Amino acid sequence: MTGRILLIIMCLATSLIGGIHASAADSLDLHRLGERMYRDGLLPDGTPLRGYVRGDVEIDGTAFSCSNCHTRSGLGSVEGQVTSPQVNGTSLFKPRYLFKDQVKNSISKSRGVTRPAQALRPAYTEETLAAVLRGGIDPTGRELAPVMPRYGLSDKDMGILVRYLQNLSAVFSPGVTDTSLTFATIVTDDVSPEDRQAMLASLETLVTINQQTKTQKKLPQFAKMFRMLDTAYFRDISVRIWELKGEPSTWAAQLDAYYQKEPVFAILGGISNKPWKPIHEFCETNKIPCLFPITDLPEVSGASWYTLYSSKGFYQEGETAGRFLSNSIRDGAGGKVLQIVRHTPQGNALSSGFTASWNESGLGQLHTVTLDQGQNLDSSTLHNLLLQYAPDSVLIWTDDEIISALAKMPPEAILPQMFISSRYVGKSVTSIPGPLRDRLFITYPFRLPEDEKTFKGYKEFLTLGKLKQPDEKRIATRTFSMIHVFLQGLKELRQDFYRDGLLDVLAMLPDQYLPDFERYSFGPGQRNASKGCYIVQLDRGQSPQLIKRSEWVLF
Amino acid sequence: MNSSIVRTVLIFVIASCLVSHSVTALASQKPYQRTVEKYSLPDVTLINQDGKRVSLKSMLQSDKTIIVDFIFGTCTTICPVLSAGYVNLQNRLGEENSKVNLISISIDPENDTPRVMKDYLKRFQAKPGWDFLTGSRKDIDAVMRAFNAYIPNKMSHYALTLIHPPKADKWIRIYGIMSSSEFVDETKKTGL
């Protein structure tokens, strides 16, 4: 039925827009051209869309596209003093009401009673929409805000844009029915049963509480965050578990099969010890939001849209080490740097992040040595590398093999300043002999333990997860952070169940203070919420404490 | 529809009215507000789009007219308007551009790295004389507070332009968005 309505709308759109009679292929092209105008501010001929704001301030569409303010989904935004209203198909071509009137009308309709409220404006037609885009006057004669550009578009270009708007967020995304919202989470077969359970149990809480909310929503023991479910409370929330087995190269086909069987609105969390890339790409291809998977090996990409990560994982640790070292070289430290990299996804991610930020600074001299499988980093290999390169600083991106190598270094070895990753090395990092600690800098990707203890929201999260203390890998707390952010998004999304809309509203969230990582911040196109990492040292104690040597975010 | 559903919908309606829909449909049509203010600015070191450390105080103690605004690299609504104002000002001033230093200070320092800021300036076709500065959250907060422009949530920030005539002890504070000709006039009043 919905498909038929869409078809009728599309046919009408095609016949109404002057001069555009399109075949299916042309129709796709026209959609792409419209999308480019809307998102990138480029006209079909490739030149920027031009317009004026505040009377005479000329703007270039590439820096000022429609989606900038009205968002990619067309559901609009509120920023500071400016409200950019909804411009998606279902909004523009229907009368616009205050939200309260809209709800009042739908209640009346469901009871078979008509109580029409006064519309703010009537439905746009192609002609009135073209007029408002050109001259800034809506069909009621009201003038739009001066920050809304007035565009001098030709009839043909206007036709393409109007057609695009007619189809923009016009039909709910898959995974939504009148009574249900279906999500998935992903678990790969390299994940231990304990880790799997830590994530799934937390996710189950979301489903359980949603069910309870329907009947017990007034009980005070419900955590504040779950009250946000009110918006979706009349829909059943379910989370499917998509288990991925075998080689990552086969994951895409497995994901496709799951998706064909039952489409989902979004992927909530997910967990893997392997690089997230195949899942990231699946989500990009199928335009499915994926929120804060538990991975330390995310896909680091400036251009992707659909996956939101809590941080850039190992890459971010390397990046921070690069900035820390570049700053100390700028302040006079020696600039000869050696990077020893274990050829694993973890080592490579640390190295990529380091090299990227190192290259940005353009200081010093960097040598990178990659250790392949079977090539041990024992004390003699390390000693020889240090003698060969005589670096001022050495970054050692390996697991705990570095700890025994350092413990057995010959007494005559001259050790430079060293950097390692606490997450890659693991717990044994604290067994580094005391005298070496002064020369050892450690990337630490979480809030420091003593700060975490005083962090106000932390206990609340532990209680929700029924945890006495955080699980070592922070899986439950990270999953609860995801749920917390997701629920805020769901609340803001209201009844507009469009996937791009979910990502748009998440981009508008204020900064969040959550367990594990420092300050989560958001913004259109920002895809890594927490942007920093600490550099720490160990004190000389038997159970060494971490001493902060950097801010969370370095430049 | 049962009564609990109706009640919930009504609560939601009221909440919605109080929150976003109390923001009247569109921005204020009033002209901008102009005041003259004195500020005591902190001595902080910020980072520009080239990754260079710059002392804000020494940047502001200049023989040029200084213009400051607060933006962020992924901002959707206000910042592009402010930045379009900067671009148009640079274009309209022509040769006199060399007498003006435009400064944009990030209110999203975690995300606004030198690379993000450089890309932003490139996107707006900024000419030399427009710097985008970031820094530690602490320093940025100190600068915002000093200008009486503290914005705890970047998504609720507003249009503010601060103009400092050469060697003056006071700032012109513009609240709201100027047209291009108003911006040129305000700038020229500083003695160009």
Which of A83, A120, A555 is opposite residue B114, by nearest beta carbon? A555
Amino acid A467: pLDDT? 64
B16/A contact by beta carbon, under 8 A: yes
Residue A27 CA neighbour count, 13 Å, CB half: 11
Q: Which pLDDT does position A107 carry in this prediction?
A: 60
Which DSSP symbol is given to A131? H
Provide the 3-class DSSP secondary structure of residue B41. coil
* Minimal CA separation from B179 to chain A, in Å: 5
**B85 vs A: CB within 8 A:** yes
Chain B residues closer than 8 Å to A145 by CB: 26-27, 29
In this structure, of A58-62, A335-339, A458-462, the range with the lowest mean pLDDT score is A458-462
Tell me: do A106 and A194 sit in the same domain: no
Q: Do A438 and A466 fall into the same domain?
A: no
- Give yes or no for residue A24 having a pLDDT over 70: no
| Minimum Cα–Cα distance from A40: chain B residue | B123
Q: Please, are residues A99 and B13 in contact by the beta-carbon 8 Å criterion?
A: yes
pLDDT of A109 reads: 62
Q: Is A219 on the interface with B (CB under 8 A)?
A: no
Claim to verify: residue A213 and residue A288 sit in the same structural domain: yes
Residues in chain B within 8 Å Cβ distance of A60: 84, 124-125
Q: What is the pLDDT of residues A514-545, one digit of tens each?
A: 989 999 999 999 999 999 999 999 998 888 99
Number of structural domains chain A divides into: 3
Contact partners, residue A28, CB within 8 Å, separation at least 6:
none
Q: Is the pLDDT of residue A278 over 60?
A: yes
pLDDT-wise least confident of A225-229, A337-341, A370-374: A225-229
**10 Å Cβ neighbour count for A103?**
19
* Residue A492 is assigned to a structural domain of this protein: yes
pLDDT at A374: 85
Let me know if residue A174 belongs to a domain: no
Closest residue to A100, CB basis, from B1, B16, B72: B16
Q: Tell me the CA distances in angstroms from A372 to A317, A338, A343, A381, A398, one per residue in order.
A: 21, 17, 5, 13, 11
pLDDT: which is higher, A126 or A23? A126
Q: Is residue A529 part of a domain?
A: no
pLDDT per residue over A437-447, tens digit each?
A: 999 999 999 99
Answer whether residue A15 shows pLDDT above 50.
Answer: no
CB pair distance less than 8 Å for A82 and B84: no
Q: Which pLDDT does position A115 carry in this prediction?
A: 62
**pLDDT > 60? residue A217:** no
CATH number of the domain enclosing A499? 3.40.50.2300
> How far is residue A182's CA from residue A105's CA, in Å, rounded to a whole number?
27
Report d(CA A426, CA B87) in Å as an integer: 50
Q: Which amino acid is at A202?
A: S
Residue A402 pLDDT greater than 70, yes or no: yes
Residue A151 belongs to domain spanning: 2-167
* A262 and A195 in a common domain: yes
Distance CA B131, CA B68 (A): 10
Tell me the residues of chain B between 138 and 177 that have a Cβ less than 8 Å away from chain A.
152-159, 177
Note whether A10 and A155 are same-domain residues: yes
Give residue-wise pLDDT tens across range A354-401: 999 999 888 899 999 999 888 899 999 999 999 999 999 999 999 999
The alpha-carbon gap from B155 to the nearest alpha carbon of chain A, in Å, equals: 5
pLDDT in tens, A108-146: 666 666 666 788 889 999 999 999 999 999 999 999 988
For the segment A39-92, what is each residue's pLDDT rounded down to a tens digit? 999 999 999 999 988 888 888 888 889 999 999 999 998 887 788 999 999 999
Specify the pLDDT at position A26.
Answer: 78
Contacts of A53 in chain B (CB under 8 A): 81, 84, 177
Q: Are residues A133 and A224 in the same domain?
A: no
Task: Tell me how close the Cα of B125 comes to any Cα of chain A, in angstroms.
Answer: 9
Q: Is the pLDDT of residue A413 over 90?
A: no
How far is it between the farthest Cα atoms of chain B?
A: 71
Domains of chain B by start residue, with CATH? 27-188 (3.40.30.10)
* pLDDT exceeds 80 at position A227: no
Chain A touched by B122 (CB under 8 Å) = no
- Please report the pLDDT score of residue B90 as a whole number: 95
Q: Which of the pair, A95 or A462, is modelled with greater confidence?
A: A95
Give the pLDDT of residue A3: 42
Nearest Cα to Cα of residue A497 among A226, A111, A172, A208: A172
Say which of A148, A521, A551 has its CB closest to residue B108: A521
Residues A415 and A539 in one domain: yes
Let me know if residue A555 belongs to a domain.
Answer: no
Contacts of residue B51 in chain A, CB cutoff 8 Å? 360-361, 555
Q: What is the pLDDT of chain A when averaged over all its residues?
A: 87
Q: Is residue A283 part of a domain?
A: yes
**Is residue A183 very low, low, confident or very high in pLDDT (cuts 50, 70, 90)?**
very high
Whether residue A194 is predicted with pLDDT greater than 60 in this model: the reply is yes
Residue keyed to tokens 């890459």: A315
Among A167, A198, A228, residue at a domain's last position:
A167
Q: How confident is the model at residue A230 (pLDDT cuts 50, 70, 90)?
A: low
Q: How far apart are CA A534 and CA A516, in angstroms?
A: 12
Residues 344-363 of A with CB under 8 A from B: 360-361
Q: What was the pLDDT predicted at A462?
A: 67
Nearest-by-CA chain B residue for A331? B53
Please give the pLDDT value at position A80. 74
| DSSP secondary structure string for all residues of A10-37 | HHHHHHHSTT----HHHHHHHHHHHHHH
Position A553 in a domain = no
Tell whether B25 is within 8 A of chain A (Cβ): yes
Residue A14's pLDDT is: 39
Which amino acid does the sequence have at A408? K
Spatial contact of A525 and A507, defined as CB atoms under 8 Å apart: yes
DSSP H or E run through B65: strand B65-71
Mean pLDDT computed over A401-414: 90
Show residues of chain A in contact with B72, CB under 8 Å.
523
Q: Tell me the two tokens of residue A401.
A: 């093999």
**A144 part of contact set with chain B, CB < 8 Å:** yes
Contact B123 A104 (CB under 8 A): no
Residue finishing a domain among A110, A132, A167: A167
Q: Is residue A173 part of a domain?
A: no
For chain B (192 residues), the mean pLDDT of every run of 10, in chain order, is 40 37 38 92 95 92 94 88 92 92 96 95 94 96 95 86 93 92 93 79
What is the tens place of the pLDDT at every residue in A244-271?
Answer: 999 999 999 999 999 999 999 999 999 9
Last residue of a domain, one of A109, A143, A167: A167
Q: Domain for residue A151, yes or no?
A: yes
Say yes or no: A339 and A408 in one domain: yes
Look up the ipTM and state it: 0.84
Q: With beta carbons less than 8 A apart as the criterion, state whether A163 and A130 touch.
A: no
Residue A276: phi and psi, rounded to 5, are -80, -5
**Is the pTM here over 0.90, yes or no?**
no
**Nearest chain B Cα distance for residue A234, angstroms:** 8
Asked if residue A426 and residue A304 are part of one domain, the reply reads no
Same domain, A86 and A100: yes
Tell whether A75 and A137 lie within a shared domain: yes
Q: How far is CA A31 from CA A71, A111, A159, A165, A305, in A?
A: 17, 39, 11, 10, 19
Whether residue A214 is found in the same domain as residue A279: yes
Candidates B4, B17, B72, B77: best to mutate against A (most CBs of A within 10 A) is B77
A148 near B CB under 8 A: yes
Confidence (pLDDT) at B100:
96
A512 in B contact zone (CB under 8 Å)? no
| pLDDT at residue A202, as a whole number | 87
Which residue out of B10, B17, B69, B76 would a mutagenesis test of the A interface target, given it has the greatest number of A Cβ atoms within 10 Å? B76
Residue A452 has what pLDDT? 84
Lowest average pLDDT, out of A203-217, A301-315, A479-493, goes to: A203-217
